[in-house]
Amino acid sequence: MTLELFIQYLFAGITYGSIYAIVAIGFNIIYNTTGIINFAQGEFVMLGGMISISLLPVLGLPLAIVAAVVITMIFGALLEICFIRWLVNPGVLRMIIITIGLSILTREAALHIWGESIHSLPYFVGNEITSVTIAGARISPQVLWVVGACGCMVIILSIFFQTTSVGRDMRACAANRTAATLCGINTRNMVTLSFMLSAGIGALAGCVVSPITSTAYDNGTGLAIKGFTVAILGGLGNSMAAVGAGLLLGIIEAFSVHIIPLAFQDAIAISLLLLILFIRPHGLFGSRSAGLKEF
């Protein structure tokens, strides 16, 4: 393998990895405050892409993205208020099934609203063939946008959770819901907030990756599965770990192309994941003490 090819694979892996990580972060935020894996997370990504594409002719790129994020956040909040908020002590399995149901409904609604054909946002900088050269490898500037968005998200989220009072309330809610309630934190609002936050992050991800991956009504499922895989691989609830796990999975996938047929890429990636899970049942960076809800 030449150095150039090595770097090219590495960047391809970083591209995949950042896309997975950005979806996985959304999973983690909801998981942290509620203990729920929201299987509709992929749909937020799809909605973000679709809404911004629809608004693009009216608002222009930056405003369309902002509007798409806001609308998706409202959608996320509505989902939580209508379907989840009023449930008393829902079991994990029940929540998995409800969020799967929501994901199916959202997807089918998108099919009837936007039709089955693919759309995409224009490249933020340059066009489909523009590329920048880094250490002899050529990559699309959009990849830098994705990596940048992913990095910014992690930084902003950590600042938000560490320093703001709302962020601390949300963490308290994650650590011990009863205690948080006793301290006067409105845990229900925190849950709604977490849905909004992760819907917003999903939507932003959907906009940033749209030029690379294109957006169609059924994009969400595939991204959700990959995002879920990465969230689990990193250890649920840990966004930094999700980024690490995402990059790891992406890079493994990219390099696997060199030795095995691309058609088996997913099978290999998932087999590796299962092996890791068997050896470290709480994910690569997760700890045994992380309170896991059981069925």
> Contact with other proteins (CB under 8 A): which of 59, 78, 120, 124?
120
103, two tokens? 């994901």
Choose one: 12-20, 54-62, 168-176, 198-206; the region binding other proteins (CB under 8 A): 12-20
Burial class (CB in 10 A: 0-12, 13-18, 19+), 120: middle
Asked whether position 113 contacts other proteins by CB under 8 A, the answer is no
Q: Which of 61, 78, 118, 134 is close enough to bind other proteins by CB under 8 A?
A: 118
As a whole number of Å, the CA-based R_g of the chain is 19
Interacting positions 238-277 with other proteins (CB under 8 A): 253-255, 257-258, 261-267, 270-271, 273-274, 277
With binding defined as CB under 8 A, does residue 294 bind other proteins?
yes
Q: Using CB under 8 A, which of the segments 47-55, 119-127, 161-169, 183-191 binds other proteins? A: 119-127
Find the binder of other proteins among 65, 67, 139, 249 (CB under 8 A): 139
Outline where 139-186 has alpha helix (H).
141-163, 165-175, 177-182
**Structure tokens belonging to residue 39:** 């299987």
Distances (CA, A) of 270 to 70, 93, 229: 34, 22, 8
Q: Does 101 bind other proteins (CB under 8 A)?
A: yes
Q: Is 214 in the site for other proteins (CB under 8 A)?
A: yes
Closest Cα partner for 245 from 280, 288, 210? 280
* Residues contacting residue 103 through CB under 8 Å, at least 6 positions apart: 39, 40, 42, 43, 220, 221, 224
How many chain residues bind other proteins (CB under 8 A)? 88
Contact between 244 and 230 (Cβ < 8 Å)? no
Question: What residues does 138 pair with on adjacent strands?
Answer: 133
- Can residue 219 be called a binding residue for other proteins (CB under 8 A)? yes
Residue 198 interacts with other proteins (CB under 8 A): yes or no: no
CB-nearer residue toward other proteins: 62 or 291? 291
Distance of closest approach, residue 224 Cβ to other proteins, in angstroms: 10
Q: How many CA within 13 A on the CB side of residue 169?
A: 17
Residue 50 and residue 112 in contact, taking contact as beta carbons nearer than 8 Å: no
- Which of 24, 37, 67, 185 binds other proteins (CB under 8 A)? It is 37
Question: According to the binding rule CB under 8 A, does residue 136 interact with other proteins?
Answer: no
- Name the helix (H) or strand (E) containing 180: helix 177-182
Lookup: tokens for 129: 């063939």
> Which residue of 54, 131, 181, 189 would you call a contact of other proteins, by CB under 8 A?
131
Which of 96/166 has CB closer to other proteins? Answer: 96
Is residue 290 a contact residue for other proteins (CB under 8 A)? no
Q: For residues 240 and 82, is the Cβ–Cβ distance under 8 A?
A: no
User: Contact region for other proteins (CB under 8 A) — 59-67, 174-182, 210-218, 240-248?
Assistant: 210-218
- Residue span binding other proteins (CB under 8 A) among the ranges 59-67, 129-137, 178-186, 240-248: 129-137
